[in-house]
Amino acid sequence: MKIVDLSKPIKYNKSDPWFMRVKIKHKPHKKAKWLIRILGLPFRLFPKNFDGWADDTIQKMGVHSTTHIDAPWHYSPTTNGKKSKTIDEIPLDWCYGKGLVIDMKHKEDFDPITVTDIEHFLTKNKLKIKPGMIVLIKTGRDKYNGTKDFHKIGTGMSAQATEWLIDQGIKVMGIDSWGWDLPLPYMMKKAKETGNSELFWEAHLVGQHKEYCHMEQLVNLDALPYTGFNVAVFPLKIVGASAAPARVVAMFEE
């Protein structure tokens, strides 16, 4: 079996936009020796060759800072009139299933992915979407992940395409861009230019009336076939959270 890691490494990167930067403090082994001494164990009773244990503290990391899965609570406090699920309330059976890659690398920056785009890709490649699949949208923009302009470029899903996937029985979907929608700065700019409030965050807001989850900042989708693999995307169980980092992996027989 081959396992492909679809998750971004979690580490400090000064080139990340300020709102994405993580800060981790790595504590060396020797500090633990002094902690144990303070707690009452004399040095003479330490095991031979005991250097202490390493430890690490995440000092700063937003739940949307790296590869993560968004819960319905992120999009809206209610879904179709009922309280939206937070990340700890997501059924785990949503988070494992047969995967399908939809290749949208040809899409230009700021050109939204439409239902027609997806249907054309499926027809051309003789693929079918089945309920319960985990659908991965490949844009190729993961090559900019870790750069200061990552959140400013790329394509993204339209509201109609998002709703269409949900209507096919898809509960979890993901993308290798910074966000599920078109880039946030672009959406803000177009909304201000046109005065049209419906242009902002349109794909996310499908979650106001149809329940689904999406992943953002996936990597390595080029390493996958279009079909014939399984995906696991289990989020950290953070109570009440709108999202959580996840180690997303694909598995298939070589």
DSSP-derived letter for residue 74 is H
Same domain, 223 and 178: yes
- pTM here is 0.93
Give the model's pLDDT for residue 42.
Answer: 83
**Are residues 92 and 49 part of one domain?**
no
Residue 31 lies in a domain: yes
Residue 32 DSSP symbol? H
Could you tell me if residue 4 is inside a domain?
no
If asked whether residues 109 and 164 sit together in one domain, one would say yes
Number of folded domains that form the chain? 2
How many separate helices (H) and strands (E) can be counted in the chain?
Answer: 5, 12
The whole-angstrom separation of Cα 163 and Cα 214 is: 12
Would residue 36 count as lying in a domain?
yes
Say if 7 falls within a structural domain: no
pLDDT at 131: 97
Q: What is the predicted pLDDT for the residue at 130?
A: 97
How many Cβ atoms are within 10 Å of 136's Cβ, its own excluded? Answer: 26
Average pLDDT for runs of 10 along the chain of length 254: 96 93 92 78 80 90 97 97 97 97 98 98 98 98 95 97 98 98 94 88 96 98 98 98 98 90
Residue 37, pLDDT score = 79
Domain end call among 42, 60, 78? 60
In contact, 235 and 92? CB cutoff 8 Å: no
**Domain assignment of residue 99, given as a range:** 68-252
The residue ranges of DSSP E strands in the chain, in sequence order, are: 2-5, 23-27, 55-60, 68-70, 78-79, 82-83, 96-103, 134-138, 172-175, 213-216, 229-235, 243-252
Q: Per the domain annotation, does 126 fall within a domain?
A: yes
Looking at residue 163, its pLDDT comes to 98
User: Domain for residue 9, yes or no?
Assistant: no
Give the number of C-alpha atoms closer than 13 A to the C-alpha of residue 179, restricted to the C-beta side: 23
Q: Longest C-alpha distance within the chain, in Å?
A: 74
Q: What is the CATH number of the domain that holds 191?
A: 3.50.30.50
Distance from chain centroid for Cα 28? 31
48 shares its domain with 126: no
Burial of 76 (0-12, 13-18, 19+ CB in 10 A): middle
Per-residue confidence (pLDDT) for residue 101, from 0 to 100: 98
Which tens digits make up the pLDDT trace of 108-122? 999 999 999 999 999
| Same domain, residue pair 56 and 72 | no
pLDDT for the residue numbered 65 = 96
* pLDDT digit string, tens, across residues 52-68: 888 999 999 999 999 99
Does one domain contain both 72 and 48? Answer: no
CA–CA dist 187, 79 (Å, integer): 23
Provide the token pair at 193.
Answer: 């230019």
Tell how strand 96-103 and strand 213-216 pair up.
unpaired
The pLDDT of residue 49 is 82
The DSSP-derived string for 6-30 is: -S---S--TTS-GGG--EEEEEPHH
